[in-house]
Amino acid sequence: MIYRYRFGRPFPTEAVMRDIPVSQGEPVYGSFEPGQGFSFKVRMDARDAIYGLGENVRGINKRGFEYISDASDDPFHYETTRSLYGAHNFILVSGERSVGLFFDQPARMTFDLGYSKQDTIHIYSESGNLDVYMIEAECEEKVVREFRQLIGRSYIPPRFAFGYGQSRWGYKTPEDFREVVREHRQAHVPLDMVYMDIDYMDHFKDFTVDPVNFPDFPAFVKEMKEQHIQLVPIIDAGVKIEPGYDVYEEGVEQGFFCTYEDDSCFTACVWPGYTHFPDILNPLARAWFGSYYKRLTDAGIEGFWNDMCEPAIFFTPEELKKTRAAMKESLDLDEPVSQPQRIADLVRSMSNNHADYRRMFHHVNGERICHEDVHNLFGYGMTRAAGEAFERDEPEKRRLMFSRSSYIGAHRYGGIWMGDNMSWWSHLRMNLAMLPSLNMCGFLYTGADLAGFGADTTRDLALRWLALGVFTPLMRNHSCNGTRRQEFYRFEGTDDFRTVIRVRYQLLPYLYSTFVKAALEDRMMFKPLAFDYPGDPIARECEDQLMLGDECMITPVVQQNAFGRVVYLPEEMMLVMLGGDGTKASRILPAGHHYIEVELNEVPLFVRPGKCIPLAEPGEYVDDIDAEDLTLVGYVGSTYELFWDDGYGKNYEKETNFRIMKM
Ligand code: GLC
């Protein structure tokens, strides 16, 4: 059952797809508190768990901390960071009752989940304009399903997007890309995508290609495709201010950029220098910005990643002026030590400053709207711009699209990656925990920068992270300029990397099928153990294992110098050890705790009783996989329903796409 409560005059976020009648009076759960803005409180029982909140720090059970929905560019996030790149205002309280709560409002919002008072959930915002949805159902999974039906079907990418991708900020020339492909092919390490970070552009101008490095870009795209490689370019939020650059000139002329209060274009410095932001909430401006993707799809490109769309701001002329004045003042002092932190703080606070978001305006259906009130929608708008354009240009074809920033609703148009992370074991654990939380919020196509984006990775972290990445729909190795190189061929013992990455391709029919079925049925691909074993107190606390589809449980190794790990089996299961030297046969383990050894080139997978999964011959790229030649592993007598279509069309329901396989 879904209830909706309305406050003030909410901005139409279009996160929700169904029109639920507005309920009046007391809510069915908790209470709305009188006062300024918005405030909701509900008491929890001592053992209630809280799930959801999509992209966020900490574990799967979110209880005991305070989170703030406020899309932020923050690569150095820790346990105490309150906001990440996305803002996903859905939580699920699980105890005697299972209740889902969605707070549909795009301004900053605080989720105090037993942080100030251990038995109280307090959710509040300065903005008093929102819709609140309350969902009651008999179990966690059903709450999620009802919520997902409310927000609409999750995005499904083309099948090549389930292959392995190599990325690094710094690839610039055709030779850089060719080298990546050559190394993979020579070593028989499967590869489907190479990502193009900002250096492919002409001076970081969106929808341009560096004419010196790529004098014939379509020919280069073709050359890569002949080797079964898709190039996936990045598109940034900021449009460079440069007379003569048509995107800039058209945007100014048509009034399609965000403005200041006086309607002149809002200016912010990002990678290209000073830029304007497309007014992505204005449907006309969105269609205009989206229309430029065609420049690259016409050259043969079939996928993109949208970046810097919180939108991230390095500084604005206003904040720069303030900081420079303070620096000058400090230089004039003999001993500028009275406020030692002042300059450093000012410099730091120049980026992503809310004072700038308050200066920035959108123009939607004749109304001027302050960006601060709709901040969390920018990334969603950009994904939507691309998604809507793809639909217009080629309605029958799926394209790859994923974004850094997002809000619920964006899940219908694209996926997300988990933003800039670090080569830290704690971020590997965070990657794992985010998977079910994101699935609850509709984001199925997701994954983290494998091996870590910032900081120097290590060989073992890279291998362990890839072994988790084997299961995540987006499997991409990406790293920051200036950090230790982390393509597989930069390490000693590259055989281990080949072995792990090939596991992904063995599992590809199963993962693709599980993904598409989850999208079509509004279900999760990854679930906390608690959802499948609600009566099991140990399963409820298990935060480093996940259920995958209806058939499996995954148990990645997330600790350095560990030769294996302790796993918890809520019931008897079959351990299938993938990778390795192929000699470790599958074996059945009884319910309970076990220590299993896991070599750096092994990927453990547990199959549930009465289930089986298909395995393929790995192949060098996705189209090389023969879905007619699959082997089932699991319990004798079980069946698996495989989804396998043409890989890019949208006729999912076609009968021949489904096949029952018997073990
Ligand atoms: C941002 C992105 C990162 C990219 C970099 C340069 O930090 O999150 O993935 O490599 O910008 O474009």
* pLDDT digits 0-9 by tens, 402-438: 999 999 999 999 999 999 999 999 999 999 999 999 9
**Which of 480, 481, 486 to mutate to test ligand 1, by most ligand atoms within 8 A of the CB atom?**
480
Atom of ligand 1 nearest to the CA of 453: 9
Chain length of the chain: 663
Give the C-alpha separation, 65 to 81, whole Å. 10
Which parts of 308-432 are beta strand (E)? Answer: 361-364, 367-370, 400-403, 415-417
Give the C-alpha separation, 39 to 31, whole Å. 9
Which residue's alpha carbon is at the smallest distance from atom 8 of ligand 1? Answer: 420
Give the C-alpha separation, 16 to 292, whole Å. 27
Peptide bond into 336 cis (omega under 30): no
* CA–centroid distance, residue 143 to ligand 1 (Å): 35
pLDDT for 101 equals 98
Q: Which residues of the chain have pLDDT under 50?
A: none
Residue type, 537: P
User: Do 54 and 88 meet the contact criterion of CB atoms below 8 Å apart?
Assistant: yes
Burial 330-343 (b: 16+ CB within 10 A, else e): eeeeeeeeeeeeeb
Atom of ligand 1 nearest to the CA of 169: 10
pLDDT for 346 equals 84
pTM for the whole thing? 0.97
Comparing CA positions, the residue from 567, 553, 551 lying closest to residue 635 is: 551
Give the C-alpha separation, 647 to 651, whole Å. 10
Atom of ligand 1 nearest to the CA of 75: 7
Which residue's alpha carbon is at the smallest distance from atom 4 of ligand 1? Answer: 169
* CA–centroid distance, residue 494 to ligand 1 (Å): 27
* CA–centroid distance, residue 644 to ligand 1 (Å): 33
pLDDT for 339 equals 67
User: Do 497 and 183 meet the contact criterion of CB atoms below 8 Å apart?
Assistant: no
Which residue's alpha carbon is at the smallest distance from atom 3 of ligand 1? Answer: 420
Pocket-forming residues, ligand 1, beta carbon under 6 Å: 169, 197-198, 234, 307, 404, 420, 478
Rounded to the nearest angstrom, the gap between the alpha carbon of residue 182 and the centroid of all alpha carbons in its chain is 29
First and final C-alpha spacing in the chain: 39
User: Do 600 and 463 meet the contact criterion of CB atoms below 8 Å apart?
Assistant: yes
**Which of 172, 308, 406 to mutate to test ligand 1, by most ligand atoms within 8 A of the CB atom?**
308
* CA–centroid distance, residue 206 to ligand 1 (Å): 14
* CA–centroid distance, residue 420 to ligand 1 (Å): 7
Which residue's alpha carbon is at the smallest distance from atom 9 of ligand 1? Answer: 420
**Which of 74, 234, 304 to mutate to test ligand 1, by most ligand atoms within 8 A of the CB atom?**
234
Residue 557 tokens read as 């190794």
* CA–centroid distance, residue 479 to ligand 1 (Å): 9
**Which of 197, 240, 478 to mutate to test ligand 1, by most ligand atoms within 8 A of the CB atom?**
197
Give the strands of the sheet with 526-527, arranged side by side. Answer: 526-527, 546-548, 552-554, 602-607, 573-579, 587-589
Residue 402 tokens read as 């994923």
Phi, psi of 53 (to 5 degrees): 65, 15
